[in-house]
Every structure is written in C-alpha cells, then in structure tokens.
Amino acid sequence: MKHKIFQTLPFFLIFITQFTTQAQNKEKGFGNPLPQSSSISSVFGEPRSNHFHSGIDFRTNSDTGLIVVAPYDGWISRIKVGFTGYGNALYLEHSNGLSTVYGHLERFAPAIEKYIVNVQYANQKNDIEDFPERELLCIQKGDTIGFTGNTGGSTGPHLHYEIRETKSQNPIDPIARGLYYLPDNTAPVIARLIIYEVTEVDGCLLFRRFKGLKVQKGKNLYTIVNNGLEALPKKIAFGLIADDRINEQKGTFAIASAVMKLDGEDYFGYNLDKFSYTETRFANAFIDYEAKKMKYGEIVKLFAESNCPISTYRLNSNSGVVNVDTTKGQLFEIKVMDHNGNSSLLQFALRPKNTIKPNQLAIKDTIRQVIATPTKHKTLNYNGIQLTIPEKALYAPALVEIKDTTLVGDLAISKSVAIGSNTIPLQKSVKIEINLKQMGVNITDRVYLARLQGSKGISYAGGIITDSLLSSSTREFGVFALARDTTPPLIKPRNFQDGENVSAQRYLFYHISDAETGVASYQAYIDGEWAAMYYEPKEQTLRYNLSSLRLQPGLSHNIRIVCTDQIGNTSELTNNFIW
Ligand SMILES: [Zn+2]
C-alpha cells in the first residue's frame, strides 16, 4: 500500500505543478483593458500608409465612453493631450519591464483628468505631453483609467491598445507574446502569388511585377494554378496576397510572419512580432505600395528593397532574389503564419524552358524625367520647378517626372503640376522649389503650396517664400498648385447665445473651422485669464469644460476665443455667459 502511494505520487505532483503554473501564469498575465468588448478590428504589425500598426484596435460598437481598465498594476508614466496622432493618450509603465499605451481616448479617469488640467493651466497650453513622477498616479489591475473615444488621427470610435518593452519603447505583438488572449485556430488564407522581375539600376535592385498567379487550396496545401510559365526573367522574386481570419472576429487581418524555402532551405522570411518606431515608415516598402494605390490588392513582398533595412526580415544574401534555373526544377515552399501560430503552406515548382530579357527602366523625355535611386542625391528642373531628391528618400529606383496637368484645383491660383507620382513612396522628404513668376503668380502675400486631393479639393502643403521663390518639403509626391489664403478662421458659439445663462450645462461648445489652410492654433481667455480648451478637428468643435471649478458660479463671465490658420490669418470672438 505504502509502496503504491509512493509510485503514484510523482505523477500526481507533476499534474498539480503543471496545473498551478498555468493558473499562476493566467493570474500573472495581462487582463483585458476593455471589459465591454473583445471584438477587434486590427492586429499588430498591419502595414498601413507610412507605418506598421503598433497595437490591437478594439471595436467599441461605434460608440464612445466605454470604460478602459488597467490590465496590470503600474503607474501612469506619460500623458498626451492633443488633436493629432493618438489624440488623448495614456501610457502605463508596469514593473515587469513592459508598458501599455491607450490611444484615442475621449477622457481620462477623474484623478488623471484633474492632474492634466493642472498641467494645462500651469503651462497655459491645451496640447500637453507630460511624464508624471513614478509614485504620483499609481494604478492597480482593474482600475478605470479612462474612457474610449475617437480623438486624434482616429477615423472612427475605437480603442488603440499597445504593449511596449519599456526600455527600448519597441512595440510588441500582444497576441503572439501571450499578453492578450484571443481564441483562434483558423489558418491564414493565401489568395495570390506575384512573380517579380528583378533588374539593377546603378547597383540598386529594381523589382517590378511580372505576373500574378491564382492560388488554389488542396487538402493540406495551397498550389498555384498553372498559367504556363514557359518563360521567366533570369532573376525573380515573390510577393503574396494573403490574409488571416480569426474565430468569431469580423473581417480579415494581417498575417504575422512568412518564410520562403527554396529546395528545402530557408531563403527569405519576416516575423512582425516586434519593431522599432524608427523603422515603422518602411511599411511603405514592405508592401507593394504602387499595387495598393492602384487597388490591385495588398501584396506583401518576400524580398527586401534596396532601402528597406527592417529588423523583421530574415534575409539570405540574395535579399529574396532567385536565380531561375532552366536546367532543373526548383521547389518553393512559402509558409505564412498568423499571430496565434496557425499556418498555411503554399508549394510550387518552377522549371521554365527559357529565360527572357528584362525590361530596362528608360527615360523618354530627358527634360522633365530622371531616373533616381536610393543611393544618390538627384535634382530635376523643369519650367521653373526644381525637385531635389536626397539620398535614401526613395526605397527603390524609380522614374521620377514633372509634368503639367489639366486638373484644376478649387481655389488654386496657378496651373497644376504633377511632381513625381503618388504611386512612388518616400521614406524621407523631397524638396520642391517653385518660381512663382514662372507659374504666372505675381503676388507673394499668403501664397502657399497646395496639394490637389481627389477631384478638386486642395490641402495645405506648406511653403516659405523668399524673393518669389516658394520652397517646401514633402514626403508625398502628387499634384500641386499654388493657392492663396486670405480668409481667417470661422468661430461661432454652438450651444449658447451671447449673454445666455448656461448654469445647467456642462460644456461650452464652439464651431471653429478654416476653409483653406486649416486651424493652426486656438486660445481662449475667460475674464482675461487663459482657459483650457479641447479641439476636435473632425467635428470642428472647440469645447470648454464649465465644471472644471475654475469659475466663480452665478456671475456673468466674458470669453474671448482667438484662432489662427496655417498661413497666419487670425480671428477673434468675444461673448458673455452666465454660469
Ligand atoms: Zn490602433
């Protein structure tokens, strides 16, 4: 009897140990920051325009004001209030070497809100970035820290939740790292394989789409539908259109990693479970930017562009370039994985009979076209316009041109000129210099460079004028014209009339907008004293919190709003109210 117990005990102990370790991990782990929603719309690493998505986006049912709680003990280490980027954002530092970020909040928990208002008034600044002392705003797991919103660069109500390594401030994949749990056993879906033709321009690799191939799913594998690949370029590379599905989650998501093998050997791959903010813009070269702009779909490249040095790549010495062999078949395997480790495999063999000569990049018009590469500084002069492309502004060699267009921008005072193409992405700014007189513009006062958006609309693209030469820099090619903004911003009360008793209200709302260049700054003064205001450009609203206990109640107060646009036109409005 004794003997038997002894024998069974170790097994029993192992079981208990495993069980408690799992339970403890769960206890130690990060909780859900948004108890009311586990529905997500974006995952980590999603390539977006000019950045990789650095967190998880939670849906909030098109609503705002959902409670956000701390998923782990910590302290508020950074606060941002503003109308761009993450809008109203909180940063929590935790003792385990990780930090969490909450973006686009509507408002903060009362104690944090009080702290923020004090910082705003002490500095007389609406937009703040503050780093509170470690002991000041301590938070325990489950404490309410704020409420979801739609502030900053958000285009709809949601919560942006991000986990960073505190020391490096590098964001990491919460799902892949086991810090957020999402049930998922659904594998990614591979839709298309794209073959790229590879050539060289001045020592830089140039990848161009050669052929797109349909992919079919068999029992365990994806294969390509044979499209008669009898002839291929000598050097090729691959791209993939694939996305992920997650159990019970609406929509499709970005895949997390891919590995390509050639004849059984690892050849190229990437793993997007962590990146650095200094490399986030390389998302423009990680995908086929031109294909996306032209709505061919989002192609993830299985090769590295000359100027795309991201840490997520697993490179062989060929940057993903394959030398095509006509003497024997080459076997390719591409495995894609989602954030939970579910994978799909595409397998195909290539054995073309012939190789074909690649098309060289060539200019047809030497006056207004230039071939630029990431390794050389280049300038192009045409009709009073000078374009300067510095080194490492481009990701890959490209034909860049300046050409007149027949597009007419509303409010423009000159013809429109295409400078480069919006299908060519930029890592660094290029410089645009325009001789106003050569564009038929003889005034310089409040003239600016306008970018044509959509069919007719324009947006402010900056510009400093010296001796009738306008100089501006931009990180986006496009169609430009000159415009002039002489209209000051519009300010009007939204929820009260001059002299009204507003004691029953919590806020004063103003409409502020600027027709051309946009609102650049706004200030408010109540009874002559600076007052904190909250600006929401999407709603063209300026808000004052009456309940901030900074006014003596029952009196008539005077409020003055001053608003300036980007070119320097200023408006002022003074009203009275009783509160
Ligand atoms: Zn987000």
Domain ranges of the chain: 22-172, 189-356, 369-484, 490-578
When computed from its CA atoms, the radius of gyration of the chain, rounded to whole angstroms, is: 29
Contact 214, 273 (CB under 8 A): no
State the pLDDT at residue 16: 39
Residue 511 CB: number of other CB atoms within 10 A? 14
State the pLDDT at residue 548: 65
DSSP secondary structure string for all residues of 520-577: EEEEEEETTEEE--EEEGGGTEEEEEGGGS-S-TTSEEEEEEEEEETTS-EEEEEEEE
Q: What is the CATH number that goes with domain 22-172?
A: 2.70.70.10
280 CA to centre of ligand 1 in angstroms: 14
Q: How far apart are CA 448 and CA 457, in angstroms?
A: 15
470 CA to centre of ligand 1 in angstroms: 36
Distances (CA, A) of 491 to 73, 358, 488, 540, 563: 44, 60, 9, 10, 8
DSSP secondary structure string for all residues of 90-137: EEEE-TTSEEEEEEEEEEE-HHHHHHHHHHHHHHT-SSEEE---TTTT
Q: Which two tokens stand for residue 177?
A: 């790292």
418 CA to centre of ligand 1 in angstroms: 32
146: β partners: 68, 108
Q: Which two tokens stand for residue 470?
A: 């306008």
State the pLDDT at residue 498: 95
CATH topology of domain 369-484: Chondroitinase Ac; Chain A, domain 3 (2.60.220)
State the pLDDT at residue 19: 39
Which residues fall within 8 angstroms of residue 436, CB to CB, at 6 or more apart?
442, 443, 444, 447, 465, 468, 469, 470, 482
Contact 104, 63 (CB under 8 A): no
Q: How far apart are CA 16 and CA 437, in angstroms?
A: 83
328 CA to centre of ligand 1 in angstroms: 47
107 CA to centre of ligand 1 in angstroms: 17
54 CA to centre of ligand 1 in angstroms: 7
pTM over 0.85: yes
Same fold, 22-172 and 490-578: no
Contact 416, 454 (CB under 8 A): no
CATH topology of domain 490-578: Immunoglobulin-like (2.60.40)
307 CA to centre of ligand 1 in angstroms: 26
Q: How far apart are CA 180 and CA 182, in angstroms?
A: 7
pLDDT along the chain (579 residues), means of 10: 38 39 50 93 95 96 95 97 95 96 96 94 96 94 97 94 97 94 94 96 95 92 83 96 94 96 95 95 97 95 95 86 93 96 95 89 93 96 96 97 88 93 97 96 95 84 95 97 95 96 93 94 95 93 85 90 97 96
Distances (CA, A) of 350 to 203, 268, 322, 364, 479: 27, 17, 11, 35, 42
DSSP secondary structure string for all residues of 336-405: EE-TTS-EEEEEEEE--SEEEPPPPP--S-TTTEEEE-TTS-EEEEETTEEEEE-TTSBSS-EEEEEEEE
3 CA to centre of ligand 1 in angstroms: 60
450 CA to centre of ligand 1 in angstroms: 29
Phi, psi (5° rounding) for residue 293? -60, -35
State the pLDDT at residue 456: 67
State the pLDDT at residue 229: 82
State the pLDDT at residue 7: 38
User: Computed from CA positions of residues 448, 449, 454, 456, in that sequence, does the dihedral angle turn out positive or negative?
Assistant: positive
90 CA to centre of ligand 1 in angstroms: 14
Contact 575, 526 (CB under 8 A): no
